[in-house]
Structure 1
Amino acid sequence: DIVRRPDGLWRVITNKGDVIAEHVVNAGGLWAREVGRMVGLELPVLAMEHMYLITEDMPEVADWNKKTGTEIIHAVDFDGELYLRQERGGMLMGTYEKANKVWSEFTTPWNFGHELLEPDIDRIAPSLEVGFRHFPAFQKTGIKQIINGPFTFAPDGNPLVGPVRGLPGFWVACGVMAGFSQGGGVGLALSNWMIEGDPGADIWAMDVARYGDWATMAYTNAKVRENYSRRFSIRFPNEELPAGRPLKTTPLYDTLAARGAQWGVSYGLEVPLWYAPEGVTDEFSWRRSTDFDHVGKEVAAVRNGAGLSEISNFAKYKVTGEGAAGWLDRIFACKLPRRGRMTLAPMLKDDGKLIGDFTLANIDDAEWFIAGSGIAEQYHMRWFEAHLPKDDGSVRIEALGQKLTGLAIAGPKAREVLAKVTRADVSNAAFPFMAVARMDIGMAPCLVGRVSYTGDLGYEIWVAPEYQRAAYQALTAAGGEFGIGLFGSRALNALRLEKNYGSWAREYRPIYGPVEAGLDRFVAYGKDADFIGKEAALAERREGGKLRLRAFIVEAADADVIGDEAIWHDGVVRGWVTSGGYAHNAKTSVAMGYVPKEIADRPDGFEIEILGKRHTARIQAAPLFDANFERMRG
């Protein structure tokens, strides 16, 4: 068993005596769930049976080794959904079969000794038939052995690594499917994290905090089986995978589905991506697809009149307590807003790099509201709680999750729509840009902030789930005369690109400083509070950092960037794309990405690679829409 002592140390109870430790790492492999349950943790991991065959020695292998002096390289056959590599004098061929099988679904027996399982050649026969056809040499040799054994996966196939929120000193290193190739990186990240307080890199893709309590055993089963069966399947950028869905939904799910919502998922929550007319669905493609024109119409509704979007996927937090203001002044690098106001709030690590970007609202000096990236709720709560004052109760923070849902309206007619459904004065004089106040929307009590990720005149409306439908109905009824239209997250992406707005986990990550990311204008370097990362942030401002985030106009024809494409300058790769897409209102393709500061303001010489072809690109310093911020602030 594992027990946490009153002094914060861990007591690990074994059959050979107790061990007292400051840090405990759950590297339990097949028994990761059992070890997690010792401390009340249910980890989203599941073991799958996996088979591969090993051939007798093959003359073709011997000839290759003799001629080249090297072994045959590891290869993947995507058509056959199998892999192969040299194994001594023969070959190994394995597959991630569609007809997969879970091993020991609920618990792993403690007396299991890594024995091999009974092979089931019929289950992998369809893949092997393709493999033998693609690699004829396998047809002429014997099979020495068929191996079947279990190994573990997380729902997305990546490891689960890092400190566990709420259990100081308890770490996980589980779901490490490829131990030889991943183990070194996992060990390095954990050792850096324990000693330095930081993993030394952005390891979000394997951070245990990417999952919350919603990742139940049944959900994990569905997603692991799906991921296993698609191990060698190509996923298109507009492809949404169906297993384990829908899981979390808001009260508007059925209403929006009836309006044609096409759904994605964020932190387990169903999110409208775009709205399709009857009979139209996504066609999976690397290029612009069936959603393109319809997303363009959603964008036009916002820019020309008013648009309505559901934004419940944002993370929401409430902070209270007599020490709240002082704590927020240290946790965030910004100047705290006065009562009834909001601000953009970068959050830094000790090394001055970003660990979050938020909107911070001062409701009434006694209560503060924070909105941020929905996928990072557990990640950021872990950071918040680790930096709370110790055991004095002076600061209380709560992740609101779906206790608070959201709607947003945006566009030149947004104020007129809002004015029709509230008795509050929402004129520009009474409710200016970045104001926040409680007001009724129709019959629904709401918290309203005058801010919009669209870069347009807009409002974010936060409402308890039992009132969300009423608020939605009031807004849609009032917006009818203004042509209000629904818009999803793909339209929101197109809108924010026209304003050069970045987003968490893409433009803003723990490897960039605020100067590099263009967020230094929101850092209050001179405030009295010794905010986390202040010394390092001041050093970055003096020295200028190494990179700069830039927006590019790309001469693209029928495909746009999705992220991680190369940015070329004068024929050499100098940077990388973080995100992008088509800006429908500006009618141009946009990419955002990082380049060295030495070339960040050069007018030409840039190219951005899309699907293997370079396209001329130029830096777009000023926003494509409302460059003077007159409409957003007016």
Structure 2
Amino acid sequence: EAYGLEQPLWFAPDGVKDEFSWRRSTDFEHVAAEVRAVREGVGLMEISGFAKYSISGVGAPAWLDELLACRLPEEDRMTLAPMLNSKGKLIGDFSLANLGDNEYFVAGAGVAEAYHMRWFLQNLPDDGSVEVMPHGAGIVGLSIAGPKSRQVLASVTSEDVSANAFTFMDIREMDVGMAPCLVGRVSYTGDLGYEIWMEPEYQRHVLGVLLAAGAEHGLRLFGSRALNALRLEKNFGSWAREYRPIYGPYEAGMGRFVALKKQADFIGKSAAMAEKEQGGTMRLRTFVVDVKDADVIGDEAIWLNGEVRGWVTSGGYAHGSSVSVAMGYVPWGCANEDDGWEIEILGERRSAKLQVEPLFDPKAERMRG
């Protein structure tokens, strides 16, 4: 469960049960089918478990500019928004949308909602110029992703969602079926996709019209295990694994979203500048691992030339690319070594290869197209 909302891990056919194992288990082939549906057609998943916030008021733009390390997006646009503490370490990883009229929509890790709300309120101005509203279960969501997702969305809305009219990281209010929704062109799958947010009373209707429209395109439901396999193919990190308060943004590969040149003196700016200049100590890296029948789950040792040099943060089997993937941190000084890597899985050291480019769509042509 996620804050009382059931989150499907995977969808089991009749007669198949989820059986725990340190090795691959009963879910393996069915998660693979969910991944294949997304990469080849269109998939749909529940995203209500994310934390959702509305931030508004005449002081909202200036406050967000000092709270977040990114450059604020233009109206009807979104951006990835790292949030740092005073030491320049990552304490948040959000999508930030500018809805116009000093109103912003923020989505982030559901597990960190209480922590983030404490930070927001701690740094809120006392002049009443900014209001932060956590939505909890008051806003729910669905996501569709895959090369046919645009066709599905276009068939259930009167809005122009063509590639040129609704570009990557655009966000817009539109009716989906008969329901008012907020739709962003973004997907954690790394594919063409959309996040669709609505009030709870509309979710069943939206789900119904999407399933009906998607039937001719082979739409399939997918769960969080498939999502994990999909994001690994894109080298996408996740909150509480790759992104935590012990890592800086440049160590975590998020430096391109840190706007050191913006005028605002955002929290952690001086520390982030120092990290960029000095390099930090660690680097997040992605590896393809030569495995048998078990994949990493996190905290496995990363070896280089016979010595333990780092640790795995997350991973799994990337079904779309038919390889086992591990993400983890290693010292900056050896982070670009080509050979000599091994990752320990169930007591056995398995050879690993540094994977610099994403396995899927390395130029992001599908995601942005």
Normalised TM-score (structure 2): 0.99
Counterpart residue number, 1:580: 315
- Aligned to 2:32, which of 289, 293, 296? 296
Counterpart residue number, 1:597: 332
Partner of 1:384: helix, strand, or coil? Answer: helix
Partner of 1:421: helix, strand, or coil? Answer: coil
Counterpart residue number, 2:188: 453
Partner of 2:6: helix, strand, or coil? Answer: strand
Distance in structure 1 (CA, Å) of the matches to 2:302 and 2:5? 33
For each residue in 1:123-171, what CA deviation from the matched residue of structure 2 results, as whole angstroms up to 9, or x when unmatched? xxxxxxxxxxxxxxxxxxxxxxxxxxxxxxxxxxxxxxxxxxxxxxxxx
Distance in structure 2 (CA, Å) of the matches to 1:408 and 1:365? 26
Query: Does 2:89 correspond to 1:365?
Result: no
Distance in structure 2 (CA, Å) of the matches to 1:333 and 1:372? 15
For each residue in 1:576-631, what CA deviation from the matched residue of structure 2 results, as whole angstroms up to 9, or x when unmatched? 00000000010000000000011111111000000110000011000000001000
Aligned-residue identity in percent: 67
- Aligned to 1:376, which of 78, 87, 112? 112
Distance in structure 1 (CA, Å) of the matches to 2:309 and 2:337? 13
Query: Does 2:229 correspond to 1:490?
Result: no
- Aligned to 1:387, which of 112, 123, 136? 123
Distance in structure 2 (CA, Å) of the matches to 1:425 and 1:378? 37
For each residue in 1:89-146, what CA deviation from the matched residue of structure 2 results, as whole angstroms up to 9, or x when unmatched? xxxxxxxxxxxxxxxxxxxxxxxxxxxxxxxxxxxxxxxxxxxxxxxxxxxxxxxxxx
- Aligned to 2:6, which of 270, 273, 295? 270
Q: Which amino acid aligns with 2:48?
A: S
- Aligned to 1:284, which of 6, 15, 20? 20
- Aligned to 1:506, which of 236, 241, 251? 241
Report how far residue 365 of structure 1 moved.
Answer: 3.5
Partner of 2:250: helix, strand, or coil? Answer: helix
Counterpart residue number, 1:470: 205
Distance in structure 1 (CA, Å) of the matches to 2:99 and 2:17? 42
Q: Which amino acid aligns with 1:321?
A: G
Counterpart residue number, 1:547: 282
Query: Does 2:49 correspond to 1:320?
Result: no
- Aligned to 2:357, which of 612, 622, 631? 622
Partner of 2:25: helix, strand, or coil? Answer: coil
- Aligned to 2:84, which of 348, 353, 362? 348
Q: Report 1:143-162 matches (<5 A).
A: none
Distance in structure 2 (CA, Å) of the matches to 1:591 and 1:266? 25
Distance in structure 1 (CA, Å) of the matches to 2:320 and 2:238? 20
Distance in structure 1 (CA, Å) of the matches to 2:221 and 2:130? 39
Q: Which amino acid aligns with 2:117?
A: M
Distance in structure 1 (CA, Å) of the matches to 2:232 and 2:3? 23
Counterpart residue number, 1:608: 343
Q: Which amino acid aligns with 2:122?
A: A
Partner of 1:470: helix, strand, or coil? Answer: helix
Length, aligned pairs only: 369
Report how far residue 461 of structure 1 moved.
Answer: 0.4
Counterpart residue number, 2:173: 438
Counterpart residue number, 1:558: 293
Q: Which amino acid aligns with 1:505?
A: A
Report how far residue 266 of structure 1 moved.
Answer: 2.4
Distance in structure 1 (CA, Å) of the matches to 2:299 and 2:362? 27
Distance in structure 2 (CA, Å) of the matches to 1:427 and 1:454? 20
Report how far residue 267 of structure 1 moved.
Answer: 3.5
For each residue in 1:14-53, what CA deviation from the matched residue of structure 2 results, as whole angstroms up to 9, or x when unmatched? xxxxxxxxxxxxxxxxxxxxxxxxxxxxxxxxxxxxxxxx
Report how far residue 538 of structure 1 moved.
Answer: 0.3
Report how far residue 268 of structure 1 moved.
Answer: 3.8
Distance in structure 1 (CA, Å) of the matches to 2:145 and 2:223? 12
Q: Which amino acid aligns with 2:197?
A: W
Partner of 2:91: helix, strand, or coil? Answer: strand
Q: Which amino acid aligns with 2:100?
A: D
Q: Which amino acid aligns with 2:148?
A: K
Q: Which amino acid aligns with 1:410?
A: A
Partner of 1:266: helix, strand, or coil? Answer: coil
Residue segments in structure 1 that go unaligned for 5+ positions in a row = 1-264
Counterpart residue number, 2:65: 329
Q: Which amino acid aligns with 1:444?
A: A
Report how far residue 412 of structure 1 moved.
Answer: 0.3
- RMSD (Å), alpha carbons: 0.6
Q: Report 1:247-262 matches (<5 A).
A: none
Distance in structure 2 (CA, Å) of the matches to 1:556 and 1:396? 50
Distance in structure 1 (CA, Å) of the matches to 2:121 and 2:134? 11
Report how far residue 323 of structure 1 moved.
Answer: 0.2
| Bigger relative CO (Cα 8 Å, ≥ 6 apart) | 2
- Aligned to 1:522, which of 238, 243, 257? 257
Partner of 2:187: helix, strand, or coil? Answer: coil
Counterpart residue number, 1:306: 42
Partner of 2:87: helix, strand, or coil? Answer: coil
Partner of 1:363: helix, strand, or coil? Answer: strand
Distance in structure 2 (CA, Å) of the matches to 1:268 and 1:507? 25
Query: Does 2:162 correspond to 1:427?
Result: yes
Distance in structure 2 (CA, Å) of the matches to 1:494 and 1:592? 12
Report how far residue 364 of structure 1 moved.
Answer: 1.4
Report how far residue 556 of structure 1 moved.
Answer: 0.8
Report how far residue 366 of structure 1 moved.
Answer: 2.3
For each residue in 1:382-410, what CA deviation from the matched residue of structure 2 results, as whole angstroms up to 9, or x when unmatched? 001100002x1100001101100010000
Distance in structure 1 (CA, Å) of the matches to 2:160 and 2:221? 25
Distance in structure 2 (CA, Å) of the matches to 1:569 and 1:366? 50
Normalised TM-score (structure 1): 0.58
Distance in structure 1 (CA, Å) of the matches to 2:350 and 2:39? 28
Distance in structure 2 (CA, Å) of the matches to 1:415 and 1:503? 26
Q: Which amino acid aligns with 1:272?
A: P
Distance in structure 2 (CA, Å) of the matches to 1:521 and 1:626? 19
Residue segments in structure 2 that go unaligned for 5+ positions in a row = none
